[in-house]
Amino acid sequence: MSKHGRILVAMSGGIDSSLAAVLLHEQGYEVIGMTMKTWDYASSGGNKKETGCCSLDSINDARNIAVSLGFPHYILDIRNEFGDYVIDHFTGEYLEGRTPNPCVLCNTHIKWDALLRRADKLDCEFIATGHYANIRQENGRHIISKGIDTWKDQSYVLWGVSQESLGRTKLPLGHLKKTEIRAMATEKGFYDLVNKSESYEICFVPDNDYRGFLKRRVEGLEDRVRGGNFVMQDGKVVGQHEGYPFYTIGQRKGLGIALGKPVFVTEIRKDTNEVVLGEEKDLERDGMMVGKLVMQKYENLIDRPLETVTKVRYKHEGTPAEIVQEGAKMKVIFHEPVTGIAPGQAAVFYEGDDVVGGGWILKSFKQ
């Protein structure tokens, strides 16, 4: 009999999830490892070798850790549900002129649900991942907070995990720093893990060419959107572009236009196939609306405006802001201008280190 019961650990084959499994095994849990197969990159027509959490090498790396420690390992094929939900959403958002965040969507809507369903079948009380974040219970809520490693903190990508799912989740790396994890792996002789490069690409776009992915995914897309206008803030047409889905808010490089000064994409107009350009100051906004909220620390904030630090993308440091819940949406009033707010990205609200909640950016504005 194990000391703490049976736990299902999501293992990508990388150092973080592998060490999460090792630590739980050492703590006395009966560990079962599981690697999720989300995507066959060869089917997308890309030109780069399959890498990251979906590759055969990564699956074998995860299995080797399990074998070395004597616990079982399984592969969970979720390609169909992943494709239907995450990839269709990814494609659809770009076609709507927004900038999606598929990794957040996958975490919150696919991986957790898939893991918990399999955990039930395997009689596991808990699941675990290698995310750098913490979970605690307080006032009847399961609260996500930042990991102590500020550079690696991944609380931003977990805002959408349900309260029920958080109640069955363990995050053993939240109180550790990446340097400590690497030192542990070296001490235990997992040299391949220590030397393995980390993948930061979207798993189904490992060559980082999302434009090429969209062109292959949506038949006839180039012909439909090519030839729209680049326009300046005053409406002046300054050139033609390849199509509005191939640009994102804040983009400066790869525009294919030279105006004698740096310009940025400040707005994408799907209905007229226009891409608006401007200077960096033209990206500044001091408010936004956020929808599809998932509240974490508090059940809701109706009639309770709250001072927060709000992040508008993963590596954003965050900006002080008051949040005001308006029904199913959150109005965010920043106390200083924020640049590059992109509809379709996730916004996450923090109170100290705690995740208050999050949602998807609908629009930004200047007050």
Give the residue numbers of the binding site.
10-17, 36, 130
Say which of 53, 54, 106, 124 is annotated catalytic: 106
Which residues are part of a known binding site for ATP? 10-17, 36, 130
Assigned token pair, 284? 């500044």
Q: Is 124 a catalytic residue?
A: no
* CB proximity list for 187: less than 8 A, separation 6 or greater: none
* CB proximity list for 227: less than 8 A, separation 6 or greater: 240, 241, 243, 273
β-sheet bridge partners, residue 347: 359
Q: Pseudo-torsion of CA 352, 357, 361, 365, nearest 10°?
A: -50
What backbone torsions phi and psi does residue 310 show, to the nearest 5 degrees? -115, 130
- Name the DSSP letter for residue 287: E
Q: Is 103 a catalytic residue?
A: no
State whether residue 44 is helix, strand or coil: helix
DSSP secondary structure string for all residues of 273-333: TEEEEE-GGGG-EEEEEEEEEEE-SSS--BT--EEEEEESSTT---EEEEEEEETTEEEEE
Assigned token pair, 18? 């592998």
Say which of 53, 54, 124, 203 is annotated catalytic: 203
By annotation, the residues acting in catalysis are 106, 203
